[in-house]
Every structure is written in structure tokens, then in C-alpha cells.
């Protein structure tokens, strides 16, 4: 993670890290096929929770939700009706963005 600070035009807040809300930087896909938070973000970033929420709220973030739904279905932790309902919610959020 780059620790440079910049003014964020999208959030109108000064002093946010350059990587704020960038899903590829703050929640990248790991070597084992699961998403991981880099150590720089996890231990040293004072805005990590807001940053991850912002990243997940993007159109690209809906892919993360779809990944979770698929993994849950394959593991048997989610039945057909719940899967259908959650996929419908994700689809609606995609259309809103």
C-alpha cells in the first residue's frame, strides 16, 4: 500500500490515502484464490474500515459479493432460495451504480 496522502476528489475529504476505496489495492485476490487485506492496510491504516466499505460499495465490489455467494453455495452453507435472493439483491445494486 502506498502511504502517500492526497486530497480525495470523490470523497471531498483531505488526508485520505491514495489507495482509498481501490478494491484491487485494499482487498486483492490472494494466491489461494481468496481475497486478503494487505498488512499495510490491516495494521497501519487509520481509515481501513471506511476504505473497505467504500471499495465494496463500488460496481467492482459486487463481484466480491458474488464470489462469497458462489463459495457459500459450493460449501453447502446456502440453499437455493437464499442464493437466488442474494443474487437478486446484488443484481439490483449493480443496476443502481
Q: 13 and 49 share a domain? A: yes
Q: 5 and 37 share a domain? A: yes
Nearest partner of 41 among 31, 32, 33, 49, judged by Cα: 49
Provide mean pLDDT across the span 57-71. 91
Q: 4 and 51 share a domain? A: yes
Rounded CA separation 48/17 (Å):
10
**Is the pLDDT confidence value at 9 over 50?**
no
Provide mean pLDDT across the span 22-37. 91
Q: Is the pTM of this model over 0.85?
A: no
Q: 63 and 52 share a domain? A: no
In DSSP notation, 7-63 reads EETTTTEEEEETTTT-HHHHS-B-TTSSB---HHHHHH-TTHHHHHHHHHTSTTHHH
Q: 10 and 50 share a domain? A: yes
Q: Containing domain of residue 92, as a range? A: 59-97
Amino acid at each position: 500500500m502506498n502511504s502517500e496522502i492526497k486530497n480525495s476528489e470523490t470523497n471531498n475529504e483531505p488526508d485520505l490515502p491514495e489507495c482509498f476505496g481501490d478494491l484491487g489495492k485494499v482487498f486483492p485476490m490472494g494466491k489461494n484464490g481468496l481475497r486478503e487485506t494487505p498488512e499495510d492496510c490491516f495494521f497501519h491504516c487509520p481509515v481501513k474500515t471506511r476504505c473497505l466499505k467504500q471499495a465494496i460499495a463500488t460496481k467492482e465490489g459486487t463481484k466480491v459479493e458474488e464470489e462469497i455467494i458462489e463459495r457459500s453455495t459450493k460449501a453447502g452453507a446456502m440453499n437455493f432460495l437464499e442464493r437466488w435472493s442474494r443474487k437478486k439483491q446484488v443484481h439490483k445494486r449493480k443496476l443502481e451504480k
